[in-house]
Structure 1
Amino acid sequence: MLANMLEAKNNLSRLVAAAERGEEVILARDGKPVAKIVPLRMARVAPPGSMRGRIHLSPDWDSPETNAEVAALFEASVLRGL
């Protein structure tokens, strides 16, 4: 579907509904295509807790040694300017 700017201004709701139905909606200025109205595809977000049972942590993940190692990595990246 091709719509000029004046038509788009006056019928925006109809044009958006057409795009939502999967129709290609092209906007034109002086008969030349300049833009397209497309439906917004939202990313599906996993609900909280959906990874339960899929992630396994090492028993020492929060040990003083591991924390010191992580802190050293952060400090090294700050010194390198990362």
Structure 2
Amino acid sequence: MPKKVVRESVALYDAKTPLSALVDRAAAGEEIVIMKSGYPMARLVPMEDTRYLLIPGQGRGLWKVTRTCDEPLPDSVLD
């Protein structure tokens, strides 16, 4: 059975001040729809995966920087 989603609509003007509280509620599992002029414009939903996409040191040893990396480029490349 699909998960039941409860949505609350909030006007953009009314969402400005309590935005931090709305984000906390979305992180807790609620779905909040931001409305502008009566039309839905955006959804605040909880993140499903909060792991970092990049892991520090993950590419260590995969490439090397040579001693000549600071030298000017040859004229053939600059043309």
TM-score (norm 2): 0.50
**Greater fraction helix:** 1
Please tell me whether Structure 1 or Structure 2 has the larger radius of gyration of its CA atoms.
Answer: 1
**Greater fraction strand:** 2
TM-score (norm 1): 0.48
